[in-house]
Amino acid sequence: MTKIAVAGGGSIGLLLAGRIALAGKPVTVWTRAEAQARALAASGVAVCGASGETIGIAPVTAMTLDQAQAERDPAHVVLLAVKQTALSQAFLDALRAAVPPGAAVAAFCNGLGHTERLAAALPGRHLLAAVTTEGARRTGPAAVRHTGSGNTWLGDAPLFDGTARDAAVPADPAKLQIVEKVLKEAGFTAIVSNDMAERMLRKLLSNAVINPLTALLRVPNGQLTATRDRLRLMRTLFDETVPVLRQYGLPNDPALWDELLDVCARTAANRSSMLQDVEAGRPTEIGAINGAVSRLARQAGLPAPWNGGLTALIEAIPGDGGDV
């Protein structure tokens, strides 16, 4: 039997672990905090629906990432569901020690930059990129609300570090099939994509417009479109970001603006992860989102003053400390 681990006890990590366990698959959650590991081991993951109704209590094994390094029967599939702010050198070293060569690691990270770092830190492991539009909100150390269903795309891990635009870590087809099967059996809509660069860039565009503006204005996603002034801000940032991302594989699609407005409508009550981080005084992923757009713009010789300015503003908020 394929041994599955979910690295990360946040919203998406608990959703993945909970739904996989409810489908009857044994799953282990790797956490950073020992207290959360104890809570999960004691009570399992409480999975609720969008309205708060209980879907099920999912029994899981749980341990810290440090404890996972000593496991005699290591995981074959690791779903990495952490924010880029967690990818410190110490974390990467611990991940390398816990994940044996030959295992598959599917990275569910926002923004850009993680595929390059993971590829360098995990030689001999099969790195996959994953992009999901599933909505989730952690409501406690062992509880998660599934706030909205979406799609999850899997495939080669693209590289955006100044190499050729089509550079990627090629996915092993057998490992890709295993991860796709695990997700589908858990009830997720999993799709193998031949163009993960496009998928990552589409989500980056959405995050680059919605996340910093909601964080600065302190409003949920749906409120961004509530006034003309906010819509103008969105459009200005969108118009600056699209030409940059087109240099790296974003298609010339006239529907992109309408797709962005649709995201705001479908997630109207959601508070973006960046807004939640700012409100909680936690570091944000601004460096991996708008900071990444600024870096890509410099590589392509294009201006991106709005992305650079928003990065500086968010990094100046007490508690952020910047994402280098």
The residues annotated with a catalytic role in the active site are 203
The CA-atom distances, in angstroms, between 274 and each of 28, 55, 143 are 27, 27, 20
Q: Say if residues 61 and 27 touch (Cβ distance below 8 Å).
A: yes
Parallel, antiparallel or unpaired: strands 126-132 and 189-192: unpaired
Q: Which contacts (CB < 8 Å, 24+ apart) does range 177-182 have?
A: 178/2, 178/76, 178/77, 178/104, 179/77, 179/79, 179/104, 179/106, 179/128, 179/130, 179/154, 180/154, 182/2, 182/4, 182/20, 182/25, 182/77
Classify residue 262 by its DSSP letter.
H
In sequence order, what E strands does 60-119 have? 61-64, 77-80, 104-107
Residue 71: half-sphere exposure toward Cβ, Cα within 13 Å: 26
Q: How far apart are CA 109 and CA 129, in angstroms?
A: 8
144 forms beta bridges with 47, 138
Residue 230: half-sphere exposure toward Cβ, Cα within 13 Å: 19
